[in-house]
Structure 1
Amino acid sequence: MERREKLNQIDIVRGIAILGVIMVHSTSFATVNMKETTLYGVYNFLNIFSKIGTTSFILLSSFVLFYNYYPQPLTLQRFKKFYRNRLMYIVIPYLLFSLLYFLLRWYQNGFAWDISQMWPSFWSKVAKGQAYTHLYFVFISIQLYLLFPVLLYLMKRFKWLAASAVLVGVALQWAFFLYNREYWQVTNRGSWSPTYFGQYFLGAWLGIYFDRIKGWLIIAKENLTKSKVAVWIALWAAWLASGLAYVNIFYNARLHGTRYHNALYDGLWDIYTMLTPLVLIQVAFLIGGKLRTSFWVGRLRHLGIVSFGVYLVHPLVLLFYRQYPLQSGGTLIHHAWYAGGFVLAVLISWIVVTVLSRLTGWSWLLFGSVPAQLKAASAETKGAPGSTGTSPSASA
C-alpha cells in the first residue's frame, strides 16, 4: 500500500511550537521578578499564551504516527522496526541528556561525588522524567510510544473507537484528572501520559481521517464555502477566547493572589491546547506554499525539523545565561536581558544542533532522527531522487 502524501507543513507547526516552548522557559523568571513593572501583563501573556509546545508536540507525534501507520497492514516486522527506532532515537537521547543535566544539577547543588549516592538518585529521576525540568516531555513521549501499537490495533479493529477517538481521549483524560484529585493524588501529574490523552487522541483522529477532513480544516480558495468559513471563524474565536481566559486567570492569581478551582485551570488549558494545533495547522498550510520562495518560512520549517534537538539543548543555554544576571540598571535594561535570553536560547541551540547534525556521524545519539531528517530535507530541496510526495510525512 502506498504511503500517504508528505506534509511538510507539519515541520512548520513544530517550528512554531518550539518557539512557544522557549518563550515559556525564557520568561519564567520574569513572571516572578518583574511584577512591579508596567509590562508585567506582557510577560504573563507571553508565558501563558505560549504554553502550546508540549501539547502540540504530543498531538503532532500522534498525528504523524496514525497518519503513516493506520493505512498499513499490522505486521510483527513493522512493530519491531518501530520499537528499534524509538530505542535509538528517543530513549538513548533521553538517557544521555538526563545524565548530562543530572550531573550539572549535582554539581550546582554542591553534593559529594559519591557514585553510591548518585547512581540510585539518577535512576530514580530518570524513571520519573525528573532529571531536569523539561525532560518530562520525552518521558511522556516514551509512555505514549509504548501505548501506540495497542491503540493502533484497537482503532483498526474497532472502527467506532477510531471515529470517536476525541471523545474517548477527553473522557479518559478527565477521569484521570478527577480520580487523581480525589483518590490517587499522583505527584507530578504532568509527567504521566493520561494527562495528555485528549491531545493525543485528537492527533490520532486527525491522522486517521485527515484526507476526509482537511477540506474543513485547511483554509484555501478551493475549500471556500459559507459553512466552512463559519467553522473557521468559530475555531479561531474559541481558540482566542480560551487562550485569553487562560492568560487572565494566571494574571489574577500571580499578581493579585486570586484563587480558582483546579477544574477551571484544567478546563481552559484543555480547550486552548487542543484547539491551538488546529489553528497552527491552518497557519502552516496558509504559509507552507512559500517554502521555496520565502526565507523566513524556510527557516521556520528548518527550526521545526531540528526542534527535538533544540528542545533538549536550549535549557543549557538558559542555564549558563542566568549565571550572569543583571546586578544594576534600569527597567529597560532588564527587559532587554530577558529578551536576550530568548533570542540566544533559540539561536545558539538551533546552530549547535544543526552543525553537530550535519558534521558528525554520531549526533543521532543526542538528537535522534534529526540528522536523517535534515539530510532528507536537503535532498528534497535539491530535487534528489527519492524525495517524492509519497514519502513519509515524518520519521515514523
Structure 2
Amino acid sequence: MERRAKLNEIDIVRGIAILGVLMVHSTSFATIDMKNTTLFGVYNFLNIFSKIGTTSFILLSSFVLFYNYYPQPLTLQRFKKFYRNRLMYIIVPYLLFSMVYFVLRWYQNGFAWDLSQMWPSFWSKVSQGQAYTHLYFVFISIQLYLLFPVFLFLMKRYKWLAASAILIGVGLQWAFFLLNREYWQVTNRGSWSLSYFGHYFLGAWLGIYFDRIKGWLIIAKENLSATKIASWIALWAVWLGAGITYVTMFYNARLYQTRYSNALYDGVWDLYTMITPLVLIQIAFLIGGKMNTSFWVGRLRHLGIVSFGVYLVHPLVLLVYRQFPPNGGSTLIHHAWYAGGFLLALLISWVVVTALSRLTGWSWLLFGSVPNQLQAAYSDSNRVDKPSGKPAASA
C-alpha cells in the first residue's frame, strides 16, 4: 500500500511551536523580576500565550504517527523498526542530555562529587523526566511511543474507537485529573502521558481522517463556502477567547494573588492548547506554498526540522546567559537583556544543532533523527519542481 503524501507544512507548525517554547523559557524569570514595571502585562502575555510548545509537539507527533502508520498493514518487522528507531533517536539523546543537565545542576548546587550519591539520584530523576525542567517532554514522548502500537492496533481493529478518539482521549485525561486530585496526588503530574491524552488522541484522529477533513480544516480558495468560513471564524474566536482568558487568569494570579480552582485552570488550558495546533496547521498551510520562495518561511520550516535539537540545547544557552545579568541600569537595559536571552537561545542553539547535524556523523546521538530529516528536506527541495505520479515520503 502506498504511503500518503508528505506534509512539509508540519515542519512549519513545529517551527512555530519551538518559538513558543523559547519564549516561555526566556520570559519565565521576567514574570517575577519585572512585576513592578509597566511592561509586566507584555511579559505575562508572552509567557502564557506561548505555552503551546509541549502540547503542540505531542499532538503533531501523534498526528504524524497515525497519518503514516494507520493505512499500513501491521507487521512484526514494522514495529521492530519502529522501536529500534525510537531507542536510537529518542531514548539515547534523552539519556545523554539528562546526564549533561544533571551534572550541571549538581555542580550548581555545590554537592559532593560522590558517585554513590549521584548515581541513584540521577536514575531517580531520569525515571520521572526531572533531570532538568524541560526534559519532561521527552519523557512523555517515550511513554507515548511505548503505547502507540497498542493504540494503533485497537483503532484499526475497532473503527468506532478511531472515530471516537477525541472523546475517549479527553475522557481519559480528565479522569486522570480528577482521580489524581481526589485520591492519587501524583507528584509531577505533567510528566505523565495521561495529562496529554486529549491532545494525543486529537492528533490520532486528525492523522487517521486527515484526507477526509482537510477540506474543512485547511483555509484555501478551493475550500471556500459560507459554512466553512463560519466554522473557521468560530475556531479562531474560541482559540483567541481561551488564550486571552488563560493569560488574564495568570495576570490576576501573579499581580493580585487572585485564586482560581485547579479545574478552571485545567479546563481553559485544555481548550486553548487543543485548539492551538489546529490554528497553527491552518497558518502553516496558508504560508506553506512559499517555503521554497520566501526566506522567512523557509527559515521557519528549517527551524521546525531541527526543533528537537533546539529544544534539547537551548536551556544550556539560557543557563550560561543568566550568569551575566545586568547590574543596575535603566529598566530599558533589563528589557533588552530579556530580549537578548530569547534571541541568543534561538540563534545559538539553531546554529549549533544545524552545524553538528551537517558536519558530523555522530550527531544522531544528541539530536536523534534531525540529521536525517535535514538531509531528506534538502533532497526533496532539489526535486520540488519535478512532477511525480506518486506521493512523496511520509509526513
The aligned counterpart of 1:337 is 337
Q: CA deviation at 1:306?
A: 0.1
Mapping for residues 314-353 of structure 1, pairs under 5 Å:
314-353=314-353
The aligned counterpart of 2:33 is 33
The aligned counterpart of 2:311 is 311
Secondary structure at the aligned position of 1:12 is classed as: helix
- Aligned-residue CA RMSD in angstroms? 1.3
Q: Is the 8 A contact 1:68 1:392 kept in 2?
A: no
Alignment-mate amino acid for residue 333 of structure 2: I
1:324-352 CA deviation, whole Å, 9 max, x = no partner?
Answer: 01111111110000000000000000000
The aligned counterpart of 1:392 is 393
Mapping for residues 104-183 of structure 1, pairs under 5 Å:
104-183=104-183
Q: Is the 8 A contact 2:3 2:394 kept in 1?
A: no
The gaps in structure 1 that reach 5 residues or longer are: none
Alignment-mate amino acid for residue 361 of structure 2: G
TM-score (norm. length: structure 2): 0.98
Are 1:254 and 2:289 matched, yes or no? no
Distance 1:354 1:103 in 2: 25
The aligned counterpart of 1:76 is 76
Q: CA deviation at 1:292?
A: 1.2
Q: CA deviation at 1:130?
A: 0.3
Alignment-mate amino acid for residue 381 of structure 2: T
Q: Is the 8 A contact 2:291 2:297 kept in 1?
A: yes
Mapping for residues 219-368 of structure 1, pairs under 5 Å:
219-368=219-368
Q: CA deviation at 1:386?
A: 11
The aligned counterpart of 1:9 is 9
The aligned counterpart of 1:96 is 96
Q: CA deviation at 1:382?
A: 1.7
Secondary structure at the aligned position of 2:324 is classed as: coil
Secondary structure at the aligned position of 1:133 is classed as: coil
Distance 1:308 1:386 in 2: 30
1:262-304 CA deviation, whole Å, 9 max, x = no partner?
Answer: 0110000000000000000000000000011100000000000
Q: Is the 8 A contact 1:173 1:196 kept in 2?
A: yes
The aligned counterpart of 2:201 is 201
Distance 2:211 2:154 in 1: 21
Aligned residues: 394
Distance 1:271 1:256 in 2: 24
Q: CA deviation at 1:157?
A: 0.5
Q: Is the 8 A contact 1:380 1:387 kept in 2?
A: no
Q: Is the 8 A contact 1:89 1:365 kept in 2?
A: yes
1:220-274 CA deviation, whole Å, 9 max, x = no partner?
Answer: 0000001100110000000000000000000000000000000110000000000
User: 1:337 and 1:250, CA in 2 relative to 1: closer, same or farther beyond 3 A?
Assistant: same
Distance 2:379 2:22 in 1: 29
Distance 2:145 2:110 in 1: 36
Q: CA deviation at 1:393?
A: 3.4
Distance 2:183 2:385 in 1: 57
The aligned counterpart of 1:189 is 189
Distance 1:223 1:383 in 2: 28
1:344-367 CA deviation, whole Å, 9 max, x = no partner?
Answer: 000000000000000000000000
Q: CA deviation at 1:383?
A: 1.9
Distance 1:25 1:129 in 2: 17
Distance 1:219 1:234 in 2: 13
Alignment-mate amino acid for residue 324 of structure 1: F
Secondary structure at the aligned position of 2:134 is classed as: helix
Alignment-mate amino acid for residue 258 of structure 1: T
State the identity %: 81
Q: Is the 8 A contact 1:379 1:387 kept in 2?
A: no
Distance 2:381 2:191 in 1: 38
Q: CA deviation at 1:168?
A: 0.3
The aligned counterpart of 1:52 is 52
Secondary structure at the aligned position of 1:134 is classed as: coil
Q: CA deviation at 1:385?
A: 12
User: 1:266 and 1:7, CA in 2 relative to 1: closer, same or farther beyond 3 A?
Assistant: same
Are 1:20 and 2:31 matched, yes or no? no
1:61-102 CA deviation, whole Å, 9 max, x = no partner?
Answer: 000000000000000000000000000000000000000000
Q: Is the 8 A contact 1:306 1:350 kept in 2?
A: yes
Distance 1:379 1:166 in 2: 36
User: 1:39 and 1:387, CA in 2 relative to 1: closer, same or farther beyond 3 A?
Assistant: farther
Distance 1:383 1:231 in 2: 36
Secondary structure at the aligned position of 2:113 is classed as: coil
Q: Is the 8 A contact 1:8 1:393 kept in 2?
A: no
Alignment-mate amino acid for residue 309 of structure 2: G
Q: Is the 8 A contact 1:376 1:387 kept in 2?
A: no
Q: CA deviation at 1:381?
A: 1.5
Distance 2:46 2:384 in 1: 41
Alignment-mate amino acid for residue 71 of structure 1: P
